[in-house]
Structure 1
Amino acid sequence: MELRHLRYFVTVAEELHFGRAASRLNIAQPPLSQQIRQLEDELGFPLLFRTKQRVELTEAGKVFLEECRLCLAHIDRAIDAAGRANKGEIGRLDIGFVGSATYSIVPFLQRYRLQYPSVSLMLHQMKTTNQIQALHDGRIHLAIVRTPIQSPFLTSKIILKERFIAALPQKHPLTRKRKLHMQDLAGEHFIISSRNNGSIYHDAVIQLCYKSGYRPNVSLEAPEILTIVAFVSEGMGVALVPDSFRNQKNKGVIYRDLEDVEPCLEMSLVWRNDEKSQVLNEFLKCIK
């Protein structure tokens, strides 16, 4: 039994006329009659009563018609779903990201979501080293990190460079200035991330201070940038955060631009060279 037999039968059952059914199917009437006979022979019982004047469904034919319709509808849905999956329009995309990139990735994800609303996005906040291991293990399709990764098995692409801005407690005297320079922060109590939780971000902050002629007075290290901003809001110190974090409207925190700081914090996408996910391919096209 083939799918065409089911489609042929449904058409004949709907028309109750072999001539009209053959016309709908764009085939000759004799081959159509032969196909229906073959289907009945395979089933072992008649589906149609045939006379010279009319064609009628048997009781078995009526039941078979409803089941065929359900079967064909399910197959049509399966074909449509498979076609959409082949185009990367449905499926699942697992993305790892470092905490400091949280607000940087939002515009990319929003753009992708508008274009591919049926794809399930699964986000995993992870350290860079854990993301790379997850890529190799096949647990994520894409890593979002703060530095390009050099590996013969991975592809890396820089998609964004951000500048740092200053995060200040709301009542800090420096909030009276609209813009700051790095030298304005000399002597302040800095809150930074632990190097164990993000060496790129940690080292970039330290280097900016050194270039401005001073060693930062680190009074507190926190595991995540969101925690850092929370401590700033409590007046425990100042911090340098990616420009995208100004979108986080924390109560008690004022953000100020740093005029002498150029974009230096890179955000890169990393994926396996042998990754075959069409969903990932479409994501990469979408964010170019």
Structure 2
Amino acid sequence: MELRQIQYFVAVAEELHFGRAAERLHIGQPAVSQQVRRLERELRTQLFDRSGRTVTLTPVGQALLPEGRELLEALDTFAAKARRLAAQSEATLRVGISSALGERLDDFLDALPADGAGTRFEFQTLDAHTRLEEVRAGRLDAAFVRGLDSAPGLRLLTLWYDPLVVALPAAHPLAERGRLDLADLAGLPLRIAPRDKNPVLYDTVVAACRKAGFEVTIGPPSTGLQDTLADIGAGTPGWTLMYPTAAGTVSSRRIALLPLEGEPVTIRMSLALRENADSERQELLVATSTQVRRRIARESRADAEE
């Protein structure tokens, strides 16, 4: 028995005419008649009554037609999935990233579903505004972005929440504590990038300080994390907040990194993709984002319990 014989049987059963079935299948009528005869011999039963002027289904043919259709639907599903997997195995996803993802990028790649294991990634380190514009233009498939609640034309998939940590001179008396209240830093100049360079971080920190009961004192603008840390380590009065994923880059013993007591200052990391993105790639990125979010949430709960 061959699948094409099932296909011919279903076509004739639905058309009740060998000629129309042949036209529908784009083959000659003799081939259809021949293959249906072979199927009947294989099954040892008659599927069609050809004794009259019209073709009709026998009771056996009527009973087998639903199963025949299910077989063909299963074949279509099988073929579609094979094409999708083949496309994914050859696919390259272009993703915009920031420079401070650290091990979180590994977490994202580890969360890739099994059916996307062959997907290749090309990463581009760009500023946040450029990342979003490149996704909108279709030059990037997705981008990691922080702190956005919405973005026109884009879908934002929550990945995780980064709890910011305090960096201050190791020689400062506050550095001797295991944790800090944000209010402890009142009066000490904050080193942070200007708002026009990083509005998400700037607004988040300023709002958190106000919530803690003080107006932050803004020190000299930060031109880059490493430069700022070097100034702080050299004794320049000040402090800054940094993402925990960047903490591993701090090697100076002149810098103390401390978590905040109480309610943490967090910034959401999302994956941005176009609302009209290719459905297969969108499904892959949604599944990956869901998995990495669950994994990091489990790790956070485990750390809290310890």
TM-score by length of 1: 0.61
The gaps in structure 1 that reach 5 residues or longer are: 1-80
Question: Which amino acid in the other structure matches residue 255 of structure 2?
Answer: V
Provide the residue aligned with 1:111 in structure 2. Answer: 110
| CA distance in structure 1 between the partners assigned to 2:103 and 2:197 by the alignment | 18
Q: 1:121 to 1:230 in 2, by over 3 A?
A: farther
The answer (yes or no) to whether the contact 1:148–1:158 under 8 Å persists in 2 is no
- RMSD of the alignment, in Å? 2.9
Shift of 1:198: 1.2
Residue by residue over 1:85-133, the C-alpha shift from the partner in whole angstroms, topping out at 9 and shown as x without a partner, is 42x234322212344x523733433415796665432222333322221
Shift of 1:136: 1.5
Provide the residue aligned with 1:158 in structure 2. Answer: 158
The answer to which structure has the higher strand fraction is 1
Provide the residue aligned with 1:58 in structure 2. Answer: none
TM-score by length of 2: 0.58
| CA distance in structure 2 between the partners assigned to 1:102 and 1:268 by the alignment | 12
Alignment pair present for 1:213 and 2:225: no
Moved more, 256-265 or 111-120: 111-120
Q: 1:105 to 1:85 in 2, by over 3 A?
A: farther
Question: Which amino acid in the other structure matches residue 154 of structure 1?
Answer: L
Matches within 5 A, 1:1-288: 84-86=85-87, 88-99=88-99, 101-103=100-102, 105-112=104-111, 118-151=118-151, 153-236=153-236, 237-251=238-252, 252-276=254-278, 278-279=280-281, 281-288=283-290
Provide the residue aligned with 1:68 in structure 2. Answer: none
Question: Aligned with 1:158: secondary structure?
Answer: strand
Percentage of identical aligned residues: 20
Shift of 1:208: 1.6
Residue by residue over 1:116-153, the C-alpha shift from the partner in whole angstroms, topping out at 9 and shown as x without a partner, is 66543222233332222111211111121113353552
Q: 1:97 to 1:228 in 2, by over 3 A?
A: farther
Residue by residue over 1:213-264, the C-alpha shift from the partner in whole angstroms, topping out at 9 and shown as x without a partner, is 2222222212444543444333332111223333333323221111033353
| CA distance in structure 2 between the partners assigned to 1:159 and 1:107 by the alignment | 13
Q: 1:226 to 1:123 in 2, by over 3 A?
A: farther
Q: 1:158 to 1:151 in 2, by over 3 A?
A: same
| CA distance in structure 2 between the partners assigned to 1:263 and 1:184 by the alignment | 14
Q: 1:197 to 1:124 in 2, by over 3 A?
A: farther
| CA distance in structure 2 between the partners assigned to 1:244 and 1:176 by the alignment | 23
Question: Aligned with 1:193: secondary structure?
Answer: coil
| CA distance in structure 1 between the partners assigned to 2:97 and 2:277 by the alignment | 18
The answer (yes or no) to whether the contact 2:108–2:288 under 8 Å persists in 1 is no
The gaps in structure 2 that reach 5 residues or longer are: 1-81, 291-306
Count of matched residue pairs: 206
Question: Which amino acid in the other structure matches residue 179 of structure 1?
Answer: R
Question: Aligned with 1:255: secondary structure?
Answer: strand
| CA distance in structure 1 between the partners assigned to 2:172 and 2:151 by the alignment | 45
Question: Aligned with 1:287: secondary structure?
Answer: helix
| CA distance in structure 1 between the partners assigned to 2:113 and 2:173 by the alignment | 43
The answer (yes or no) to whether the contact 1:192–1:239 under 8 Å persists in 2 is yes
Question: Aligned with 1:240: secondary structure?
Answer: strand
| CA distance in structure 2 between the partners assigned to 1:218 and 1:286 by the alignment | 39
Question: Which amino acid in the other structure matches residue 258 of structure 1?
Answer: L
